[in-house]
Amino acid sequence: MSGGNLRVLHPGALSTVQDLGRRGWAHLGVPRSGALDRAAHLLANRLVGNPATAATVETTLTGIAVRLSRPATVAVTGAWAAVTVDDRPVPWAAPVAVPVGARIEIGPAQRGVRSYLAVGGGLTPPPVLGSRSTDLLSGLGPDPLAVGTRVPLGDDPGVPAPVDVAPTALIPDELWLRLHPGPRADWFTEDALATLLRARYRVSGQSDRVGVRLEGPRLTRRITTELRSEPVVLGAVQVPPAGQPLVFLADHPTLGGYPVVGVVHPDDLDLLAQARPGTVVRFRSVPEPT
């Protein structure tokens, strides 16, 4: 089965199209973007038989309702939420055959923040710089989904994964993030670095796809002069003048003017992307990989 589209009936708080992002454009000021919980995105695609590069729908907290113009296999992963097809409960983290015209609804997230909806064939809006991802910082890619939005679908890939349900990692109430110190750790006092590795921070409600703001003990700078803007990377822990850490996620700017005390290990960012406001976050220092 080929062609067809996904029509948005209710977009929820924020639903966007995401794939693996735009690599290789940071030198032009273009963020990577892409699915914040890459593991959940990849699993959803595997369950419906899509390649890893296929685009999915990323929802935020309140879910989404859509209708397909053709039959397809769908799967929902990431933040746990009730999933229904024409008001009938269907499995989460499993391939589900959906008839043409059926209403697919992902309810509010019960644990975690972001759910991922994969459709056999993938979502195929026109790519921009090699990616179909919505980038909220730069405005590249398709607009956030709204009522009535129609997103084209690719050709059905055929056979979905032969599983009843896929095992997934639990989203913990307390996150431990591996931190590679630097490149500007020397701009902070020794007490500040000890505090960062000892304290319990909490995820702020002001977090978004650009970054996760943390609330907790203030980190005091040893060097107080202005820092010339310099490149920043995914997972960078930037410390603005108020002293509260900010961990950059996929839509982060490519340049920053505040010192970066360390960089979170990339494998820990999926869980951080699922951390709800109030979640406890702790850091442990690890050496740079060789």
What phi and psi values does residue 181 have, to the nearest 5 degrees?
-60, 150
Helix (H, G, I), strand (E, B) or coil at 191: helix
pTM for the whole thing? 0.94
Say what percent of the chain tops pLDDT 70: 96
User: Are residues 136 and 240 both part of a single domain?
Assistant: no
User: Are residues 114 and 189 both part of a single domain?
Assistant: no
Q: What tens digit of pLDDT does each residue of 233-273 get?
A: 999 999 999 999 999 999 999 999 999 999 999 999 999 99
3-state helix, strand, coil in the chain (%, to 5): 10, 35, 55
Instruction: Give the list of residues 6+ apart from residue 220 with CB closer than 8 angstroms, or none.
Output: 188, 189, 191, 192, 243
**Which of 152, 185, 219 corresponds to the end of one domain?**
152
User: Are residues 14 and 144 both part of a single domain?
Assistant: yes
Which domain covers residue 240, as residue numbers? 174-285
Tell me if 168 is assigned to some domain.
no
pLDDT tens over the chain, length 290 residues: 557 999 999 999 999 999 999 988 888 889 899 999 999 999 999 999 999 999 999 999 999 999 999 999 999 999 999 999 999 999 999 999 999 999 999 999 999 999 999 999 999 999 999 999 999 998 999 999 999 999 999 998 777 767 766 677 777 889 999 999 989 999 999 999 999 999 999 999 999 999 999 999 999 999 989 899 999 999 999 999 999 999 999 999 999 999 999 999 999 999 999 999 999 999 999 986 65
Tell me if 167 is assigned to some domain.
no
Looking at the structure of the chain, the number of domains it has is 2
CA count, 13 A, side-chain hemisphere, 139: 0
End-to-end CA distance of the chain: 47
Cα separation of 278 and 272, whole Å? 12
- Helices marked H in the chain — which ranges? 38-48, 190-198, 269-273
